[in-house]
Chains A and B, each alone.
Chain A
Amino acid sequence: MTSLLDHRLLFVTGKGGVGKTTVAAALALLASRQGKRTLVCEVDAKGDVATAYGVGPTEFDPKEVQPNLFAMSMSTEESLKEYLKLQMRLPLVTRIGPLARTFDFIANAAPGVKEILIVGKLAFEVREDNYDIVIVDASATGHVVAQLAAPEAIGDLVKVGRVREQTGWITEILHDPQQTGVAIVCSPEEMPVAETLELAARIADETDVHLTGVIANRVLPELFGRGEEEIFDRLRQPSRTEALSEAAGGSVTPVFDAAELAVTLRRTRAGHLENLRSSLPAGVPLVYVPELFARAQGMRATSQVAEALGAELDIDMEALA
């Protein structure tokens, strides 16, 4: 089985708010630390990848944000310009400007044009061997299927012309499970789990792209070991809580309330995780990233997630650093 980072092109998707960008950024960091020349691309250019590495805004032209690690943000207009320049040998930028705007207009209305400019650019970087691995902070669950299925859909719609020729090699890369994989990031909550299962089914039904793994993010640690919950319950009895408060020099009730909240949250989430685990198609690995209670954001938080992911994927970050 090909592990996440053994692919050449890895799409990381997931419902909004589950930590998709952080996980994509962390995976890319991990790959780069393994010595892979890594490109990470943010498709919905919101600037979250830049935030994850604590750097200034990313652009279409990749910039090296860490050794071996290049970050870019997708722009369909730039992608088209590049395509026209490389494929159509159109040298005049002045001519491309209004042309690109026209295409942008069509792309907004005609199906698949925008999608193929995105997927085509990513596959191009793989074909040209510009990077060892391209990790995509892909669109959220609703859009990603349209993107992955676009080359084929276009292939069906467009019978002749250059685009038709192009879709061939793009689909070849996309459909090769050794080269390309999709990973879904999920948090152990009801809606994200439901959406992950739905997306897994849609990827199987509507695309020929390989689902290479599901990453459960922010998994709460088990608070108590064996027999400890009984002790906690006993400590919760009013007379004991009072005695404890006296001994500790202040009311321990809120501290206990917080522990109870943690236990309840953990229990609810464990149920959702169990549902995820048992409903995923056979053979799709489930990777856990613990809730890190991170104080920091930016690069520090990203490397913490990378470390946790490394531990799960048997990659030793410390040794690599």
Chain B
Amino acid sequence: MAASDTAQVTSVEHLLASKELVVICGSGGVGKTTTAAAAGAMAAAHLGGKVLVLTVDPARRLATALGLEAFGNKETQVPRDLFTEAGVTPRGELWAAMLDTKQSWDDLVRRHAPDPETRDAILANPLYNNITGKFVQSHDYIAMERLHDLHASGRYDLVIVDTPPTRNAIDFLEAPERMADFFSSRLLRWLTVPARSRILSTASKPFYTVADRILGSQFLADIAEFFILFQTMYDGFVQRAEAVQRTLESECTTFVVVSTLEPAPAHEAEFFLKALAERDLNLGGLVLNKVLPDYLLDPQTGALAERLADQSASVAEALVAADGDVGEAKAVARVLGEVADSYANFRVVATREAEQKARLSNRPEVVATVPYLDSDVADLAGLLDLGTRLWS
């Protein structure tokens, strides 16, 4: 990068230094959580300030790597000693929290319920418990809501959130809007009519006749009760959802897409990059994980591996003739053949992935490539090592 470009955001480091909220997204299994933690560790170590990593479902290993037994909905500070042990004097603080969907929903209800009776009725409603505890769609909204809440609290300089696994990667982007729609919907009011009044409008009658036959009136009454209770929180929820939406759209928020170069995740990343562009959301960076080394793409090495496979016998014989300690000529030839084959195999994958990379359009200014690591990240030093590769 030319010196004149330094004012632009050209690295993950610049990105983390210039934003307050970072949303890490991508399909499942691409290393989102680890990327979020590594970025957080680097920011705390080198940029200073208070940094929070909010994760959805961390591996126990990640908790251990952060020196925490476990962490929950409450924010917990990562011990400073851990940085020192990893050979870094941190300029700031690293905090971690896990998104507990049920707990967060309960907190929301406590905040928005008009009175203690309604609050208790909602919290005790079986449908409410079912929805908040089991249904994954409810994670989407809660993740964004927590993000907004943490940002608004003013307790952190930087909040990095790792998004929940969604059926569709953009689900959570639309979650605040959907939540607002849900509460403003005429359908919702319509549905709650019969419990308020026994007189059915002509429009809703056929629906209830069928619904009654299918679901039974008790279940229908349960649903209606739940919706009526929930409606009492209408104003609070809609305002809230709108505020969350504004936060996501604001300049201080940036989105980082994580992907590997396998076909399915790359396809989803592509889709996501497009969705962000369409929504005019701030796309900050693209992190490509588990990328195979460049030497697999070198044409000369490819040709050499092919030669080595073809001529393994003669090459081995020549080598053993000059240096008998290597081993038996036949065995050496076999090893050379296997090594050359393995190179060719990985070369196929690397070539396909390079193609995949070239095809990714809508790319942001910042693209970080993280190599295939030999081992899993087990401690803070490992996270910082990963972070260093992200940084530049």
Near B by CB (< 8 A), chain A positions 6-57 give 15-18, 21, 44, 46, 48
CA distance A99 to B210 in the complex (A): 9
- Contact in complex: A254, B29 (CB < 8 Å): no
Interface string of B108-134 (1 = CB under 8 A from A): 000000000000000000110011001
B residues less than 8 Å from A44 (CB atoms): 167
Stretch of B7-15, B17-25, B236-244, B318-326 contacting A (4+ beta carbons < 8 Å):
B318-326
- Contact in complex: A143, B214 (CB < 8 Å): no
Stretch of A61-69, A239-247, A281-289 contacting B (4+ beta carbons < 8 Å):
A239-247
B residues less than 8 Å from A17 (CB atoms): 27-30, 260, 262, 264-265
Known contacts: A99-B210, A111-B127, A190-B61. The answer to whether A247 contacts B318 by CB under 8 A is yes
The interface centre, meaning the residue of B295, B326, B339 with most chain A CB atoms within 10 A of its CB, is B339
Q: Tell whether B72 is near chain A: CB-to-CB under 8 Å.
A: no
Q: Tell whether A177 is near chain B: CB-to-CB under 8 Å.
A: no
Known contacts: A17-B264, A228-B334, A228-B338. The answer to whether A163 contacts B28 by CB under 8 A is no
CA distance A18 to B262 in the complex (A): 10
- Contact in complex: B307, A262 (CB < 8 Å): no
A residues less than 8 Å from B215 (CB atoms): 158, 161-163
- Contact in complex: B167, A143 (CB < 8 Å): yes
Known contacts: A109-B182, A293-B348. The answer to whether A252 contacts B326 by CB under 8 A is no
Q: Tell whether B85 is near chain A: CB-to-CB under 8 Å.
A: no
Shortest Cβ distance from A194 into B: residue: B59
In-complex Cβ contact of B345 among A111, A257, A293 (8 A): A293
- Contact in complex: B315, A247 (CB < 8 Å): yes
- Contact in complex: A248, B214 (CB < 8 Å): no
In-complex Cβ contact of B29 among A16, A159, A250, A255 (8 A): A16
Q: Tell whether B137 is near chain A: CB-to-CB under 8 Å.
A: yes
In-complex Cβ contact of B213 among A162, A230, A255 (8 A): A162
Q: Tell whether A259 is near chain B: CB-to-CB under 8 Å.
A: yes
B residues less than 8 Å from A102 (CB atoms): 187, 191, 207
B residues less than 8 Å from A265 (CB atoms): 372, 374
Near B by CB (< 8 A), chain A positions 188-246 give 190-192, 194, 223-225, 227-228, 230-232, 234-235, 240, 243-244
Shortest Cβ distance from B328 into A: residue: A231
B residues less than 8 Å from A228 (CB atoms): 331, 334-335, 338
CA distance A112 to B133 in the complex (A): 12
CA distance A111 to B343 in the complex (A): 51
B residues less than 8 Å from A259 (CB atoms): 338-339, 342-343
CA distance A209 to B359 in the complex (A): 42
CA distance A244 to B212 in the complex (A): 81
Chain A nearest CB from B101 CB (Å) reads 11
Per DSSP, chain A at the interface is helix
Chain B nearest CB from A251 CB (Å) reads 8
Chain A nearest CB from B89 CB (Å) reads 30
In-complex Cβ contact of A244 among B61, B167, B315, B375 (8 A): B315
Near A by CB (< 8 A), chain B positions 258-302 give 260, 262-265, 293, 295-296, 298, 300-301
- Contact in complex: A231, B348 (CB < 8 Å): no
Shortest Cβ distance from B305 into A: residue: A255
Chain B nearest CB from A87 CB (Å) reads 8
CA distance A81 to B226 in the complex (A): 26
- Contact in complex: A261, B293 (CB < 8 Å): yes
- Contact in complex: A231, B327 (CB < 8 Å): yes
CA distance A109 to B182 in the complex (A): 9
Near A by CB (< 8 A), chain B positions 191-221 give 191, 206-207, 210-219
- Contact in complex: B216, A255 (CB < 8 Å): no
Known contacts: A159-B216, A268-B374. The answer to whether A109 contacts B301 by CB under 8 A is no
Near B by CB (< 8 A), chain A positions 140-171 give 140, 142-143, 146, 153, 157-164
Shortest Cβ distance from A298 into B: residue: B263
CA distance A295 to B344 in the complex (A): 11
Nearest 4 Cβ contacts at the A-B interface: A16-B28, A17-B29, A161-B216, A111-B130
18 contacts between A and B (CB under 8 A): A16-B28, A108-B182, A143-B167, A146-B136, A157-B127, A161-B216, A162-B213, A187-B29, A190-B376, A240-B319, A244-B336, A250-B300, A254-B295, A254-B301, A255-B301, A259-B338, A259-B339, A264-B375
12 other contacts beyond A159-B216, A223-B342, with CB at 8 A cut-off?
Answer: A108-B182, A109-B227, A110-B131, A111-B135, A146-B134, A160-B217, A190-B61, A248-B307, A249-B304, A251-B301, A258-B293, A262-B345
